[in-house]
Amino acid sequence: MKILVVDDEPRYAQVVADDLKDAGHEVYVRTSGTEAVKEAGAGYDVVITDLRMTPVDGIAVLEAVKAASPETEVIVMTAFGAVDTAVEAMKRGAHDFITKPFELEQLHLRLERVAEKLALRRENQALRQETGAERVGEMVGTSPALRKVRDLVAKVAPSDASVLILGESGVGKELVARLIHRQSRRAGRPFVVVHAAALPETLLESELFGYEKGAFTGAAGRKPGRLESAEGGTLFLDEIGEISAAFQVKLLRFLQEKTFIRLGGSQTIKVDARVVTATNRDLLAEVREGRFREDLYYRLAVFPITVPPLRERKNDLAALAGHVLARLGTKTDLSVEVMHLISGYDWPGNVRELENVLERALILSGGGQIGPQHIQLPEPVLARPEPGSGSLPEIERKMLEDAMRKAAGNKTKAAKLLGITRRMLYTKLEKFGMAAGEDAGDQ
């Protein structure tokens, strides 16, 4: 998990952070509430914050995190005797509290509960996405890049070959995995999702293989793992590039033998489950760097499929946007101006970012017609030509054209992108004979 530790006692914060790093987490440290508040929306899974800090205390950190990222869980650390303050923090949305001084094992147990909660939340989200995908029954779009993916899915689905799905974050790798499952002979059996990066190594092992009573503190009874739940069906391991070297060995053993032993057990269990994995990493580069086992890579990548980023399938944008809006429960069509605006953006967050932008636009429009003013995109950095690449007038005209294109004809936005006043922009447009025509979306 991605964790932020906040404590104005630097040595204490570092001890906690080092221990969590050893447990396989991605950990960051901030030594003041002020610094933490600035990073409230930075995508942490968990924020562990001390309550007593000045001038910005842990309650302020909690409120900032919950306002910016409601799904981030917060664990508060409080001094002995300040339980009332911790209870107040729980009322304001903290997941749990822990009293200083504490054994690090106590913190690990709390993080395991957080990981279980996150895994359940992601599973529920996946189920909702699957319901939406089933209504369409196919990936949305007709671009050549997407047709190639469909063709590969159709070829590999009937087999039991292991599939490695590659692609940037947000391109729809899980959707491809679900399509493979639905087109396979296993379609009537379970499709089980495990997000490898969301769980620390010890919890990932128990989640996947299950455990016996007494296997570890808190294991009150036997619990079958996700592999057993996938019997006859498909196990989808997302973010496979994040697993540790030790867990790579255990996964390789299962892939070779199709058997495993529950944590704390002795019985060998055989499972018939197809394994489909996904990653946004370059696994071959990871192999060359010695961070990923070569033998495991070739077990997983019997049939690799690369899902193209949205910037390489721009002619799918209209269909995708229509699909997203329909799923949001509206029949609103996007205007030519809006389509021009979103077509000029590269979508580094891919389909997931498109969904977020359109959902936000629908809210801003009050459920009515979406206009360019409702589309909130990061302001593009205009490319400045290299010195010597043209005369000054040519360079100036090119910059004006870029700004007007990126602003979809909106002169106010174009002026802001160029860092000049609107009046100055008009002067420059007139200079190059570009001032004709009405403003697109200017108020």
- The domains of the chain, with CATH numbers, are 2-111 (3.40.50.2300), 145-306 (3.40.50.300), 311-374 (1.10.8.60), 379-443 (1.10.10.60)
* Burial readout 224-249 (b: 16 or more C-beta within 10 A, e: otherwise): ebbbbebbebbbbbbbbbbbeeebbe
Distance, CA of 147 to CA of 153 (rounded, Å): 10
Distance, CA of 107 to CA of 239 (rounded, Å): 25
pTM, full prediction: 0.57
How distant, in Å, are the alpha carbons of 48, 62, 97, 116 from that of 110? 11, 17, 9, 10
- Collect the ranges in the chain with pLDDT lower than 70: 80-83, 120-138, 379-393, 395, 419-421, 423-424, 436-443
pLDDT of residue 29: 92
CA neighbours closer than 13 Å in the CB half-sphere of residue 97: 26
Eight-class DSSP state of 333: P
pLDDT of residue 305: 96
